A = this chain, B = another copy of it.
């Protein structure tokens, strides 16, 4: 049986990364899709673990070779999802969790509508502002741009399948875990169980 593609997205600063890490810790059978990016690593980030950190030239070559499920430019940096690796893993029956920005997720949804699309909301706009500020990597100008973007991005969330509010990382991760468990029970993913000739 083909694996489940689980796409987790949300406005910039919503806490996608932390929530996804917690979810994956609780579900070791779910594999993480690693993106490629041209942005510089943040302290503690390791090439091949958080991202494949590649140069702009390399990124353009990957685009030309059709190696991306999707890619996007966000705040001057490129981010992309290696298609070939995801397909390989899904066909092997692995469930893959893909953490991705809002626009990237929509592109994936067009190509793989059978995926499970989860939108993460911050508890409030004030809290979102605090989180982006707290990161300490923003100028006042980039902070305002991010907030305006967040408001626009959140409206796109209405096109997703599920919504989870990131009040607490533990609760949000638990809800994503619940959604994945429920999706595994979908009839369309379990047609073999209705085969009366076989095991049943």
Contact = CB atoms under 8 A, between A and B. Distances in A.
Interface in A107-165: 118-119, 121, 124-125, 151, 154-155, 157-165
Contacts of A185: 118, 162-164, 175, 178-179
A199 B155 CA distance: 15
Interface residues of A, number: 33
Given A158-B191, A178-B185, A179-B182, 10 more contacts: A121-B200, A124-B199, A151-B196, A159-B187, A162-B182, A163-B187, A163-B194, A165-B193, A175-B181, A175-B185
B157 A121 contact: no
Given A162-B182, A178-B182, A181-B182, A194 B155 contact: yes
